[in-house]
Amino acid sequence: MITALFLSAVFIPERCVAQKEQIRLVFSENVTNSPTYSNTTVAEGNVEFAHGDTRLFCDSALFFRDKNLVHAYGHVQINQGDTVNLFCDSLKFNGKTNISKLLSNVRFRDNEYLLTTDSLNYDGNRSMGYYTNHAKISSINSELKLTSVKGYYYSQSKTFFFKDSVHVVDPKYELFSDTLEFRTLESSAHFHGPTTIIFDSSQVFCQKGVYYSKEDRVRLWNGATLVQKGRTFYADSLNYNQKTDLGEGFCHVMLYDSTENVKFFADYMLKHPKNTAVILKDGARVYNYTETDTLYLAGDTISYYQDTLTNQQKTIIENNVAIIKGDLFIRCDSAYFSEKDSIFKLHKEPIMWNTTSQLTADSMLTRYYDNTFHDMKMYHNAMIVSEHEGDTVHYDQLKGKFMTAILDSSKIKQVHIEENAQAIYYVTETERDSLDTETKTITGMDHLECAQIIMRFINGEAQTIAFIGQPTSVFYPIDQIPLKELFFKGFTWQIHRKPDRPFPE
């Protein structure tokens, strides 16, 4: 990157311009006293001055002896050892103030870089060289080029500052910035304003950060965005390694995959190389947008894996899982999805709500493809509970060892209960008065048992029931229902755990 740029022992280094050291005229073909200025030497022809171990060459010069001041003209050259070569058309150097001003066609060259500008100042007291009217810098040993309106160099810390319209062109990247600080000892570029870095396959936008050029690695903060083909990665703070394609984001992290129309959110995100995996932690949530509705996933940790050969996905959600799709809401402790077999597995006390119904079991398995849930298989202690007509006392209940719910547009269409099928269903009578006002009254409860039960739903509400095998039934009038018969063993109503539908992000 931008190593020992233009001043490295540069622009009359500090040790060469000690304030108390006198400038010496070493050689000139013609030396006269100035007729205009007192105590001033006019030197012409192959002029050479010395100041410490720095040599100054020019065609002609005015040497103000009492002021310790030199004005040099024509083919001005400064040599510092074997590494520094500085050229310009004219130069003013004040030995007392330790300040030099180089004018017109200024060129600096060391072993690594060439700088060209119209004017340049060097303040030896602060060990700082600076230009304020554009400069171009190019690497002698590579294709790197840099331009900026202003530039500063601190020789003691070997740190450069480039200010205003900074533009860097390198075979590996292109950079635009408002302010760029470069620390040559560690080859690190520090951004202190709006910055854009363009790589072959990605772009980085940031406000503040560091680019480690030797490692092709960036650390960004105050809001940073990484853009790749089909993906946008944002975070308050972001680490990204261009060589390994490994990205890490902290606080308000967002990853948008435009090819899959998926957004990932979390307070921590780890992006694996070639987008083969995305790990989200702390407030992890995923939005998969479709034409009809959105699949929403949330949990403490979401791991999203993608096979680069088959382009198929696996998703693992751990702890405090929430899944929402249309009218379907799910809670569980962990979930696993495999695109290969289109199976969503729900573990550890899964609960599903659909319109007025709540489904529970020891574990659940659902098929998800074409952006919709098609069925829900419930294993062991499967139960469906529904508030009857909004009554918070009486609940319709279906129970069995195994249960399959057929879904249509995220609504229950049919439920098939297998093994030890049981049902509690409240019977309602509807009456209309003279004003055609409808009144519904619960008249009793039916307790049914059968080998298998099939119940059909319309708009999520139970409508018809069918039996496979000979059912047994006990009917209780509403005022004669024993308390122990109101609920099946294992009954639970956990509407308070139903996840809230999130706002779009």
Instruction: Scan for tokens 């790589």, then name that residue.
Output: 199
DSSP output for 463-474 = EEEEEES--EEE
The total of other beta-carbon atoms located within 10 Å of residue 76's CB is 24
Cα 108 versus chain centre, distance: 40
| Beta carbons of 450 and 468 less than 8 angstroms apart | yes
| pLDDT value of residue 84 | 64
Domains, the chain, in order of start with CATH, read 1-143 (2.60.450.10)
Q: What is the largest CA-CA distance in the chain?
A: 131
- What pLDDT sits at residue 177? 93
Q: Could you tell me the pTM of the whole model?
A: 0.76
The predicted structure's pLDDT at residue 8: 35
Tell which residue, 365, 359, 329, has the closest CA to residue 347: 365
**What is the pLDDT at residue 13?**
40
pLDDT given for residue 469 in this prediction: 86
pLDDT value at position 109? 76
Grouping H, G, I as helix, E, B as strand and the rest as coil, residue 16 is helix
Strand-pair category, 294-306 with 313-325: antiparallel
What does each C-alpha distance from 91 to 60, 72, 75, 76, 97 come to in angstroms?
11, 5, 10, 7, 15
326, 302 Cβ separation under 8 angstroms: no
Q: CA 171 to CA 299: how far, in whole Å? A: 42
Pairing of strands 328-338, 217-228: unpaired
Among residues 123, 113, 131, 62, the alpha carbon closest in space to that of 90 is found at 62
Structure tokens at 377: 């298989």
Classify burial at 140, counting beta carbons within 10 Å of its beta carbon; exposed 0-12, middle 13-18, buried 19 or more. exposed
**Euclidean distance between CA atoms 235 and 254, whole angstroms:** 6
Q: What are phi and psi of 255, to 5 degrees?
A: -125, 120
Distance CA 134, CA 150 (A): 6
Tens of pLDDT, residue by residue, the chain (505 residues) = 333 333 333 333 444 334 457 889 999 999 999 999 999 999 999 999 988 777 889 999 999 999 999 999 999 998 766 656 789 999 998 877 777 899 999 987 766 778 899 999 877 667 677 899 999 988 887 788 889 999 987 766 777 889 999 998 888 889 999 999 888 777 788 988 899 989 888 898 999 999 888 888 889 999 999 898 888 989 999 998 988 889 899 999 998 989 888 999 999 999 898 778 989 999 999 999 888 889 999 999 999 898 777 778 899 999 999 999 988 999 999 999 998 889 999 998 899 998 888 999 999 999 998 888 999 999 989 999 988 766 677 898 999 999 999 988 878 889 999 888 999 988 888 887 777 777 788 899 999 999 999 988 887 677 888 889 888 999 999 989 998 899 999 898 999 999 998 877 7
Q: Which residues contact 3 (CB under 8 A, 6 or more apart)?
A: 112, 113, 184, 187
Do the Cβ atoms of 278 and 255 come closer than 8 Å?
yes
Q: 97 in helix, strand or coil?
A: coil
Cα distance between residue 85 and residue 65, in whole Å: 25
Parallel/antiparallel/unpaired status of strands 24-27 and 40-51: antiparallel
Look at residue 227 and give its three-state secondary structure. Answer: strand
Distance in angstroms (rounded) separating the CA atoms of residues 491 and 73:
99
User: Would you mind telling me the total number of residues written for the chain in this entry?
Assistant: 505
Q: What is the pLDDT of residue 140?
A: 81
Do 130 and 5 touch, CB atoms closer than 8 A?
A: no
Are 49 and 24 in contact, with CB atoms under 8 Å apart? yes
- Among candidates 259, 335, 268, 258, which has minimal Cα distance to 296? 335
Report helix, strand or coil for 176: strand
> Is the CB of residue 166 less than 8 Å from the CB of residue 139?
no
Six-digit token pair at 450?
């059968």
Q: For residues 61 and 78, give the distance between their C-alpha atoms in angstroms, rounded to a whole number.
A: 14
